[in-house]
Amino acid sequence: MKAVVFHEQGGIDQLCYEEVPDPIISASEILVKVCACAVNHLDIRARRDRPEVEPFPHILGSDISGEVVEVGADVRNVGVGDSVVLSPCVPCGQCADCLNGDENLCDAQILLGFQTNGGYAEYVKAPAENATLLSSHFSYYEAAAMPMAYLTAWHMLVTRAGVRPGEDVLILSAGSGVGSAGLQIAKLCGARVFATASTDGKLERARQLGADFTINYTDTDFSEIVREKTGERGVDVVFEHVGAATWDKSIACLAKKGRLVSCGVTTGNIGEIDIRKMYQKQLTLMGSALGTASELRTIIRLAEQGKLNPVIDRVLPLREAAEAHRIMEARENFGKVCLSPVDSP
């Protein structure tokens, strides 16, 4: 089959479109003909330097939708011809966290496309239990856009922060994959949404998605604008994934009893906090990592009902995966960049 692989970590030029052996499935696995694979910031970090990546040569791609073309002897939940989206997390299934239904906390979990070969390919193999069936009218691109970004944003805002109707939520970098998902989910929860981005073009897109206030953080201090627009109260929830560069301002945006929920550190993983202000304002800081297979089924159902509309920035042919990485590194995307094994998607 054709796939985009890298033989060693480094720059965009390490991504090569090559002929590689077809995956061979075990009794509990399925073989999926990839119809779409979305690109994540994690792919860029994996290509550059993340030490967990294996095997080599490596095929990236954690967000995969496609058609089942082969099933192992023990597989009962899906059959050949089914349309599926794959949950990216492969948990151990046996530890206390897994048995509690918190498989995103499993210490032994691996991610498709990160610690296995993934979806930058014509075919990918995965455990059968990672497959969620798609209804026939659901596009493969929309389905592939959902697992990492929408699942993570759902877990952050609904499961962890428990956003309620009428609350004020600040979404940082609303044009990112997780940000565009967070914006939609916060609106679905009935929140009033403040959104930041680095360009006015992205802010216009954010308004089209329902953002109530938009802030270009490159020419202003977003925490000052948030405080001004909320009558100095601040927001109830800050949706963080940018990390060191925004941390101080994110905390400054929080109202009394505010919650900050974070899933990422694009700009660095060390931040400080004034402990006295934290307890006086009764702030809550929350971590959040991906989500569960059950939550993935919930958000796919919401998308099938038209209540979530995955934002696709563009679809590129698989052989142009390097260009997809360039676009995301240049921060040109609003929403998800998807790859398709078809040459003219």
Ligand X SMILES: NC(=O)c1ccc[n+]([C@@H]2O[C@H](COP(=O)([O-])OP(=O)(O)OC[C@H]3O[C@@H](n4cnc5c(N)ncnc54)[C@H](OP(=O)(O)O)[C@@H]3O)[C@@H](O)[C@H]2O)c1
- The residues that touch ligand X, with contacts defined as CB under 6 A, are 40-42, 148-149, 152, 173, 175-178, 197-198, 202, 241-242, 245, 263-267, 289-290, 328, 331, 333
- Part of the chain binding Zn ion (CB under 5 A), chosen from 56-64, 92-100, 207-215, 304-312: 92-100
Q: Which does 178 bind (CB under 5 to 8 A by kind): ligand X, Zn ion, none?
A: ligand X
Residue for token pair 């995969």:
64
DSSP code string of 236-291: EEEEE-S-TTTHHHHHHTEEEEEEEEE---TT-S-----HHHHHHTT-EEEE----
Axis crossing angle, helix 147-154 with helix 293-304, rounded to the nearest 10: 100
DSSP bridge partners of 314: 337
Determine the Cα–Cα distance for residues 341 and 1; give it in Å rounded to an integer: 10
DSSP bridge partners of 89: 111
Nearest-approach distance from CB 85 to ligand X, in angstroms: 16
Of 202 and 249, CB closest to ligand X = 202
172: closest CA among 188, 156, 159? 156
Rg for the chain, CA atoms, rounded: 20
Nearest-approach distance from CB 271 to Zn ion, in angstroms: 29
Of 32 and 106, CB closest to Zn ion = 106
Q: Does the protein bind Zn ion through residue 91 (CB under 5 A)?
A: yes
Q: Does the protein bind Zn ion through residue 92 (CB under 5 A)?
A: yes
Number of shown-chain residues binding Zn ion (CB under 5 A) = 5
Of 106 and 235, CB closest to Zn ion = 106
Q: Could you tell me if residue 93 is left (phi over 0), alpha (psi between -120 and 50 degrees) or otherwise beta?
A: left
63: closest CA among 281, 290, 269? 290
**How many other C-beta atoms can be found within 10 angstroms of the C-beta atom of residue 76?**
7
Q: Which does 176 bind (CB under 5 to 8 A by kind): Zn ion, ligand X, none?
A: ligand X
Nearest-approach distance from CB 308 to ligand X, in angstroms: 16
Nearest-approach distance from CB 93 to Zn ion, in angstroms: 6
Is 127 within 8 Å of 28 (Cβ atoms)? yes
Q: Which does 92 bind (CB under 5 to 8 A by kind): ligand X, Zn ion, none?
A: Zn ion
Q: Which of 4, 71, 85, 98 binds Zn ion (CB under 5 A)?
A: 98
Burial 127-138 (b: 16+ CB within 10 A, else e): bbbbbbebeeeb
Q: Which does 106 bind (CB under 5 to 8 A by kind): ligand X, Zn ion, none?
A: Zn ion
Residues contacting 228, CB < 8 A, separation 6+: none
Q: Does the protein bind Zn ion through residue 252 (CB under 5 A)?
A: no
Q: Which of 12, 69, 95, 289 binds Zn ion (CB under 5 A)?
A: 95
Of 20 and 252, CB closest to ligand X = 252
Q: Which does 98 bind (CB under 5 to 8 A by kind): Zn ion, ligand X, none?
A: Zn ion
Q: Which does 223 bind (CB under 5 to 8 A by kind): ligand X, Zn ion, none?
A: none
Q: Which does 198 bind (CB under 5 to 8 A by kind): ligand X, Zn ion, none?
A: ligand X
- Chain-centre distance for alpha carbon 306: 19
Q: Which of 32, 44, 78, 106 binds Zn ion (CB under 5 A)?
A: 106
Give me the residues that bind Zn ion (CB under 5 A), please: 91-92, 95, 98, 106
